[in-house]
Amino acid sequence: MSKIVQVLKNIWILLAIICIEPLFTKLSQPPATTTHVQSSRFNCVEPDIEQFPKTFFNQNDRLNGAVIFYLLIGMYMFVALAIVCDEYFVPSLESICKVFGIKEDIAGATFMAAGSSAPELAATVISLFFAKDADIGIGTVVGSAVFNIMFVISIVSLLSGMIIGLSCYPIIRDSCFYLLSILAMILIIMDERVYWYEGFALLLMYLFYIMALIFDSDIKLWIYSKAGISDQLEQNGYTTMKNSLTTEINRLPTSSTMLENFETQSQKDDNDHFIDLNETIESFTPFKRPGPELSFTERTKFYICWPLFSILYLTVPDCRKMRCQKYFLITFIMSLIWLSLFSYIMVWMITVIGYTFSIPDTIMGITLIAFGASVPDALSSLLVAKNGQGDMAISNAIGSNVFDILVCLGIPWTIRSLTMSESFIVVKSK
């Protein structure tokens, strides 16, 4: 729970900046009339709020204070996403990498990117097949891309609590594919029409991206050989630095004994912590009342999160437990389902809040909705970065953008254009 609290503490500040100031501004003004609300709809396309089910409160109710209800639900969905990422999604990714021997940067650019980009795929499908508006999905994808590059990477560096080592090659590799994805999307929407073969071309590009990741080691060696770069340069530099530090340490009279004692004690402390953590995971159940050793604050957190703990405990196997380790793929799939559901509800709440404050839909698509859809990327990247897996965190941020453009747009565009009588989709995102 400590990781979740640290992440959420910073999210609350961002939410306050986004929502609280417009809230007080609106509440201090007289309620808007129905005529004003309706007249504003004739001047633009159908608002994003029409994509979602009707809620209990109308516009006047929300302006009179009922918007707090949506704000609280949106915050609760942040908690839900944090719990899913921390307790199930990230552990399942670690199990996948361990079992199949996948490098962390490749896992971040594929499995992790696909999982955390589920909200963008859902938003594009909803906009095309239900709202009949292709621009919403494009706005969400473009906004999420900006969010992933600027915000996700920033919070990883600011909140990870450590210096994270990064490899140059994976960042350049994923950035090149991201650039190609942007160019392909621009070329496709330039004529404001999307045909099935253009959407299918995006899927072929992603297949090429996957093939490049499969043969990543061979491609890397070939590039290094052509550029005259030694593949052992980084490793040799690390070895030289390590040997230099070892020499300096050995110059101290009692450094060996002190270092040995420190390593022994540190290993003992780590083992004790691992045993305690493992016992806590194995014995955890939401249906047991918290013990008296917990503080009032910890018990309050438990009861607030109890509905989430209970439903996830009953539906998602915890692959960190010994008896559930072989079900890590089920954990991964169920985590994706819950991430999509919680993200949908969160985007729904953010959309209602934005509509209440009269934020234009175009701005909503590339800001608040994109922010809500990209929260799984931010949380999962931050959590793996805290584990020292910097390449996975950054590859997830960039790889998610590649997945968003090539898959989250490619699949819906292909299917929708094939099922339409005009055989093309009209977009106005030029």
**Residues 205-214: tens digit of each pLDDT:** 999 998 888 8
User: What integer pLDDT is reported at residue 352 of this predicted model?
Assistant: 86
Residue 231 forms part of a structural domain: no
Which residues share a beta bridge with 401? none
User: What integer pLDDT is reported at residue 123 of this predicted model?
Assistant: 67
Q: Would the pLDDT of 221 be above 60?
A: yes
Average pLDDT over residues 27-46: 45
Q: Would the pLDDT of 67 be above 50?
A: yes
User: 11-15, 227-231, 370-374 — which one is most confidently predicted on average?
Assistant: 370-374
User: What integer pLDDT is reported at residue 226 of this predicted model?
Assistant: 80
Cβ pair 338, 331 in contact under 8 A: no
Residue 253 forms part of a structural domain: no
Measured distance CA(293)–CA(281) in Å, rounded: 17
Measured distance CA(54)–CA(199) in Å, rounded: 32
What percentage of the chain reaches a pLDDT higher than 70? 68
Measured distance CA(380)–CA(424) in Å, rounded: 36
CATH number of the structural domain spanning residue 402: 1.20.1420.30
Q: Would the pLDDT of 96 be above 80?
A: yes
Measured distance CA(26)–CA(46) in Å, rounded: 22
Range of the domain at 341: 2-226+289-426
Cβ pair 186, 405 in contact under 8 A: no
Q: Would the pLDDT of 294 be above 80?
A: no
How many CB atoms within 10 Å of residue 152?
Answer: 27
Residue 266 forms part of a structural domain: no
Q: Would the pLDDT of 409 be above 80?
A: yes
More confident site: 400 or 370 = 400
Binned at pLDDT 50, 70 and 90, residue 244 comes out as: very low
Instruction: Give how far the C-alpha of residue 62 lies from the chain's centroid of Cα atoms, to the nearest Å.
Output: 29
User: How many separate domains does the chain show?
Assistant: 1
Average pLDDT over residues 231-236: 49
Q: Give pLDDT tens digits for 23-35.
A: 444 444 444 444 4
What percentage of the chain reaches a pLDDT higher than 90? 9
**Average pLDDT along the chain:** 73
Residue showing tokens 């909705």: 369
Residue 33 forms part of a structural domain: yes
**H or E, element range at 194:** strand 193-195
How many CB atoms within 10 Å of residue 303?
Answer: 12
Average pLDDT over residues 350-367: 76
User: What integer pLDDT is reported at residue 241 of this predicted model?
Assistant: 40
Q: Give pLDDT tens digits for 47-65.
A: 667 767 787 888 888 888 8
Query: Which of 94, 124, 55 lies closest to 340, judged by CA?
Result: 124
Binned at pLDDT 50, 70 and 90, residue 132 comes out as: low
**What does pTM read for this prediction?**
0.64
Residue 256 forms part of a structural domain: no
More confident site: 147 or 277 = 147
Of 92-106, 170-184, 186-200, 224-238, the range with the lowest mean pLDDT is 224-238
User: What integer pLDDT is reported at residue 315 of this predicted model?
Assistant: 93
Residue 63 forms part of a structural domain: yes
Average pLDDT over residues 182-202: 90
Residue 247 forms part of a structural domain: no
User: What integer pLDDT is reported at residue 4 of this predicted model?
Assistant: 47
More confident site: 178 or 383 = 178
Residue 246 forms part of a structural domain: no
User: What integer pLDDT is reported at residue 340 of this predicted model?
Assistant: 80
Q: How many CA atoms lie within 13 A of 300 on its CB side?
A: 4
Average pLDDT over residues 328-351: 85
User: What integer pLDDT is reported at residue 33 of this predicted model?
Assistant: 44
DSSP secondary structure of 278-311: HHHHHH--TTSPPPTTS-HHHHHHHHHHHHHHHH
Cβ pair 174, 166 in contact under 8 A: no
